[in-house]
């Protein structure tokens, strides 16, 4: 997934109210940018970190910039959770995800379950539909010197995420195919794990969903100022 316009470099001053961030641009100008990440952004929102912003094409928009990337040391990280679905959909169309091959059509944001929308619905005439829920993973907690660095999800309590796991489990039990897809929007991790200490409720819902037939796939990304692209599969710890 390529960015539509060249990104603008800056330095993070602060992130606040979850969805706001103050950025100092290269020329010294200070701007307030939209922060499109509802999580804690642990380790990714320290003042002074180098960041990249995308300019808005809508002159009437209240905030003229969106925070897209942050330099986390060993890796540039994509903090915009809204891109995860687009990255996975593009990779599927380019036949980069063997686990999800064999389907002809892809639809996004399809209603299902109890007032939910599935991120991707894959369909083919000769097989059951595949319901794919996608989560953007940005957290790494084991330090840059770790021999086997690990990405973790979630980075904050997410009742909504646990609900999605329950919806997927019901699909699997009814005979459909249900997939939980963790997209790690960074390239410096070697595995993925569930952060049970951060959200024990999500961890329980995850274990129950797998027992009820939900499949789990994890991939990392190549992230840079030009594009975010799916790279390779990562093993799941635990």
- Is residue 40 very low, low, confident or very high in pLDDT (cuts 50, 70, 90)? very high
Q: Following DSSP, what letter does each residue of 73-111 receive, concatenated?
A: SSSEEE--GGGHHHHHHHHHHTT--GGG-S--EEEEEEE
Q: Which domains does the chain have, with CATH numbers?
A: 8-78 (2.40.50.580), 81-233 (3.40.1350.60)
Average pLDDT (28-57) is: 97
Confidence band, pLDDT 50/70/90 cuts, at residue 146? low
pLDDT at 144 (0 to 100): 56
Share of the chain above pLDDT 90, in %: 93
pLDDT at 59: 85
| Higher per-residue confidence, 73 vs 8 | 8
Confidence of residue 233 (pLDDT cuts 50, 70, 90): very high
53 vs 33: CA distance, rounded Å: 8
Q: What are the tens digits of pLDDT across the range 86-117? A: 999 999 999 999 999 999 999 999 999 888 99
Q: Please state, in angstroms and rounded to a whole number, the distance separating the CA atoms of residues 124 and 105.
A: 7
pLDDT at residue 94 in the model: 97
pLDDT exceeds 60 at position 143: no
Q: Which two tokens stand for residue 151?
A: 């990405």
Listed residue (113, 137, 109) closest to 194, CA to CA: 137
Q: Strands, E, within 40-195: which ranges?
A: 50-55, 65-71, 76-78, 105-112, 116-124, 127-137, 139-140, 150-153, 177-184, 191-194
pLDDT at residue 60 in the model: 87
**Sorting pLDDT into bands at 50, 70 and 90, what band is 238?**
confident
pLDDT digits (tens, 9 = 90+) for 149-207: 999 999 999 999 999 999 999 999 999 999 999 999 999 999 999 999 999 999 999 99
Mean pLDDT, residues 133-157 taken together = 88
- Indicate the pLDDT class of residue 74, thresholds 50, 70 and 90: confident
How large is the average pLDDT for residues 118-133?
Answer: 97
Query: Residue 145 — very low, low, confident or very high, per pLDDT cuts 50/70/90?
Result: low
Alpha carbon distance 41, 24 (integer Å): 19
Angle at which helices 159-173 and 200-211 cross, to 10°: 10
As a whole number, the mean pLDDT across the chain is: 96
d(CA 192, CA 202) in angstroms, rounded, equals 15
């Amino acid at each position: 997934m390529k960015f539509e316009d060249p990104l603008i470099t800056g330095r993070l001053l602060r992130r606040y109210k979850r969805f706001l961030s103050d950025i100092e641009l290269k020329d010294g100008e200070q701007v307030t940018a939209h922060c499109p990440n509802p999580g804690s952004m642990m380790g990714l929102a320290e003042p002074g970190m180098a960041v990249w912003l995308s300019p808005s094409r809508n002159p009437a928009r209240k905030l003229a910039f969106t925070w897209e990337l942050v330099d986390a040391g060993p890796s540039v990280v994509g903090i915009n959770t809204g891109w995860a679905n687009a990255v996975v959909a593009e990779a599927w169309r380019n036949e980069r995800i063997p686990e999800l091959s064999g389907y002809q059509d892809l639809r996004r944001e399809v209603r299902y379950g109890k007032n939910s929308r599935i991120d991707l619905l894959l369909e083919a005439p000769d097989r059951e539909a595949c319901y794919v829920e996608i989560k953007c993973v940005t957290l790494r907690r084991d330090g840059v010197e770790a021999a086997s660095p690990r990405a973790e999800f979630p980075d904050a309590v997410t009742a909504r995420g646990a609900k999605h796991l329950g919806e997927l489990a019901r699909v699997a039990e009814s005979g459909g195919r249900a997939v939980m897809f963790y997209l790690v929007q960074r390239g410096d991790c070697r595995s993925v794990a569930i952060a049970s200490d951060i959200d024990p409720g999500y961890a329980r819902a995850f274990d129950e969903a797998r027992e009820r037939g939900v499949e789990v796939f994890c991939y990392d990304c190549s992230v840079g100022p030009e594009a975010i692209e799916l790279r390779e599969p990562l093993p799941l710890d635990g």
